[in-house]
Amino acid sequence: MATTPTETPQVTDRDAVAPGWHTVLFLVFLLAFAAADTVQIGRGTPEHVNRMVLYVSSIILELAMVGYVWLFGLRLRGKHMRDLIGGRWERAADFFRDVGVALVFWGVVLLALVTINIILRQNPTALKAMKLLMPQTGAEMIGWVLLSVTAGFSEEFLFRGYLQRQFLALTGKQGVAVALQAVVFGAAHSYQGWKGVVTITVYGALFGALAVMRKSLRPGMMQHAAQDTLTGIVVSLLSKHGYM
C-alpha cells in the first residue's frame, strides 16, 4: 500500500524566530537595564560622569543582547542573522540604492522629529541626558562613533528585526507589530523623560515601517548609525563653543 509522504511545514516570514519565554526574558532584561540607566543618568553630572565607561558598557550590553537573540533564539530555530536583516548587496548598485533610501528616510525622520519637538516643546530631561552623554574629548569622540555604529546595527536588529518579527508572529498584523516594538523602543529610552519616550516611540515606528516597506534592515541601520554619530559631533561642537 502506498503511503503519503509527510510534508515538512513551510517556514514563513511571519513565523516566530524564538520561543515565547525567550521574548519575555528579553523584555525583562531590556526594561531592567532601561530603569537602571534612568537612575544612573538622573543622578549623574557632566563633571563626574565617565563617558568612556558608559560607552564601553553600552557597547558590551547591546552586543550581548544580539548574542542572546542569536544563540538562544535564531540558532535553536535553525535561522541566521541574515534572515532578520534581509536584503542583499550582490552589486554595488544594491549598496548605493540602500544609501539613497537611507538619505531620503533621514529627511523624513528629521521632519518628524522637528514636528514632535514643536508640539511637545523643550524637554529638559533629554537635554540633561544629552549633555551628560555627548563626547567632549577626542578619545570620547572615537568611543561615541563606535557606540553609534554598534547601536545602529544592534538596535535595528533587536527591535525592527527580532521584536517586530516576534510581535508579528503573535498578532498576525504588521501594523500592530510595528507599533508594539516602537513602544518598547520608547520605553527603553525612559532616561529621556516622558517627552523623550513619546519622541523615540514615533522614531521607532518610522524605522519599523521602513523595515516593512524595504523588507530589509540595512537602510535603517545606515541612517540610525549616521544620525547618532552626527548628533554626537554636532552637540559636542555646540557645547564647546558655548551654545549649549
pLDDT tens per residue, range 49-72? 789 999 999 999 999 999 999 999
Domain membership flag for residue 110 = no
Domain membership flag for residue 170 = yes
- For 229-242, write each residue's pLDDT tens digit: 999 988 888 777 66
pLDDT (0 to 100) of residue 24:
97
- For 143-169, write each residue's pLDDT tens digit: 999 999 999 999 999 999 999 999 999
Q: What stretches of 10-91 show up as alpha helix (H) in DSSP? A: 20-43, 51-69, 81-85
Domain membership flag for residue 188 = yes
Domain membership flag for residue 15 = no
Cβ-in-10-Å burial (0-12, 13-18, 19+) of 33 comes to middle
Q: Which residues of 154-170 are buried (b: 16+ CB within 10 A; e: fewer)?
A: bbbbbbbbbbbbbbbbe
Per cent of the chain over pLDDT 70 is: 91
Q: Measured between alpha carbons, how far is 213 from 44 in angstroms, rounded to an integer?
A: 40
Q: Are 133 and 41 in contact (CB under 8 A)?
A: yes
Q: Measured between alpha carbons, how far is 83 from 67 in angstroms, rounded to an integer?
A: 15
Lowest mean pLDDT among 9-23, 190-204, 210-224: 9-23
pLDDT (0 to 100) of residue 42:
72
**pLDDT at 1 exceeding the cut of 90:** no
**Mean residue pLDDT across the chain:** 90
Domains: count for the chain:
1
pLDDT (0 to 100) of residue 242:
63
The Cβ of residue 93 has, within 10 Å, a number of other Cβ atoms equal to 9
**Between 131 and 6, where is the model more confident?**
131
When pLDDT is averaged across residues 188-203 and rounded to a whole number, the result is: 94
How far, in whole angstroms, is CA 159 from its chain's centroid?
6
When pLDDT is averaged across residues 207-228 and rounded to a whole number, the result is: 97
Separation in Å, CA 66 to CA 75, 77, 151, 200, 213? 12, 15, 11, 20, 23
**pLDDT at 104 exceeding the cut of 70:** yes
pLDDT band at 44 (very low <50, low <70, confident <90, very high): low
Domain membership flag for residue 66 = yes
Domain membership flag for residue 69 = yes
pLDDT (0 to 100) of residue 47:
63
Q: Measured between alpha carbons, how far is 184 from 32 in angstroms, rounded to an integer?
A: 12
**Residue reference for cell 532601561:** 34
Domain membership flag for residue 77 = yes
Domain membership flag for residue 1 = no
Q: Measured between alpha carbons, how far is 154 from 64 in angstroms, rounded to an integer?
A: 10
Q: Which domain holds residue 170?
A: 20-38+53-81+121-238
* DSSP secondary structure code for residue 86 in this structure: B
